[in-house]
Amino acid sequence: MSNEHRFDDGEQREWEAQEHARGSTSDDALTRRYRKVARSLEAMPLPSLRADFAARVARRAEAAQNALAPFERFAVMTLVVAFVAAIVVAAVAMNVPLGDFVREVREANGTRWVVALMLCVAITCFPLSRLRERAG
């Protein structure tokens, strides 16, 4: 259900009185009554945060940003090492020299390898982005 409705003439006059009450010194009775409402609203207390709030939050934000950087570097290095290791292990398991194995992979259907590599990168990046979000 929408809360919007068109103001009729009476409501429009009342709206104007509400708005004028915020600034004008008009002596119109309705405006005067709304001035009391406006003054009371403006006198409502505002919450205050501790004096060191901004410094504390800035320190936390910076710590969260820095905390993940070494982890990200470690994750990328792990990925590279795992990739190289996978090639070596596959070559050893198939009992072929590493050079021949790489040549065979190159000559095989390249697209499948590219898709597989992209999947690996996506699988690695997704948890990293989630971690970054949580650390913030």
DSSP 108-126: S-HHHHHHHHHHHHHHHHH
Concatenated DSSP letters of 22-50: TT-----HHHHHHHHHHHHHHTS------
Q: Are 122 and 114 in contact (CB under 8 A)?
A: no
Residue 112 or 134: the one with the smaller Cβ distance to another protein is 134
CB of 18 to another protein, least distance (A): 5
Q: Which stretch binds another protein (CB under 8 A): 3-11, 77-85, 91-99, 106-114?
A: 3-11
Site for another protein in 88-127 (CB under 8 A): none
41 binds another protein (CB under 8 A): yes
* Residues 65-94 close enough to bind another protein by CB under 8 A: 65
9 scored as a contact of another protein (CB under 8 A): no
